[in-house]
Amino acid sequence: EGQLLESGGGLVQPGGSLTLSCAASGFTFGNFAMSWVRQAPGKGLEWVSHISGIGRTSNSADSVKGRFTTSRDNLKNTLYLQMNSLRADDTALYYCAKHLVGWDVFELWGPGTLVTVSS
Amino acid sequence: IVLTQSPGTLSLSPGERATLSCRASQTITSTFLAWYRHKPGQAPRLLIYGATSRATGIPDRFSGSGSGTDFTLTISRLQPEDFATYYCQQYASLPRTFGQGTKVEIK
């Protein structure tokens, strides 16, 4: 089934930037679409973005469009989330998730990495 | 598509049956609806996709039903590990959206 492990979270000031990484293992990474999903403190789950297996297509939520960029390096088995112009409401636990093949549902999740946007 | 889950909290005892509802603001085509269980401090786990199909390794006490705008997750006999928050998610259209969650707590 595999494993996912996010990294790169931390404390950043409003307006700052941060890049999250998600290292995948135990499956053929390039065969699967991937997503980022976040959970703000005390809130529910929010889909952030997804990217196709070969990285040719991606989509993102309106709340992050123009600020966040999703990419992947299939040779390094790694998914990325470049976050710019961060705001306080971007504070959340960020999960990367592997799609079930052929479906836009998330069959494998990492433990998450916490991003805190605060001055 | 906005997903509204009810009730917000469900208080039940182990062994009881749980019925969770997810209502969509517009028809979800091709039953592109999933359910997840999320325990504190853990990653969410996929339970159901395609409204009715159990994910790999999910026991048969979990079942999904529904179509159009109304969907249900049923847990036939609650086990201790089932006390958690449950989310529905639609993948019929962008942006992908989740419901706000139903918390199943021990009565």
- Residues A33 and A91: their CA atoms lie apart, in Å, by 25
Token pair of A63 as six digits: 């709340």
Q: Can you tell me the distance from the alpha carbon of B65 to that of B80, in angstroms, rounded to the nearest whole number?
A: 23
The beta-carbon neighbor of B46 closest among A105, A111, A112 is: A105
Instruction: Select from A17, A2, A18, A12 the least CA-distant residue to A100.
Output: A2
CB atoms within 10 A of CB A50: 25
Least CB–CB distance from B95: residue in A62, A95, A105? A62
Please report, in tens digits, the pLDDT of each residue of chain B (107 residues total): 999 999 999 999 999 999 999 999 999 987 899 999 999 999 999 999 999 999 999 999 999 999 999 999 999 999 999 999 999 999 999 999 999 999 999 99
pLDDT tens-place string over residues A40-72: 999 999 999 999 999 999 999 999 999 999 999
Given a contact cutoff of 8 angstroms between Cβ atoms, the answer to whether A113 and A90 are in contact is no
The strands making up B3-6's β-sheet, listed across from edge to edge, are B3-6, B18-28, B62-75
Q: In terms of CA atoms, which chain A residue is nearest residue B31?
A: A103
> How far from chain centre, in Å, is Cα B56?
16
Beta carbons of B43 and A59 less than 8 Å apart = no
Pairwise CB contact (< 8 Å): B44 & A45: yes
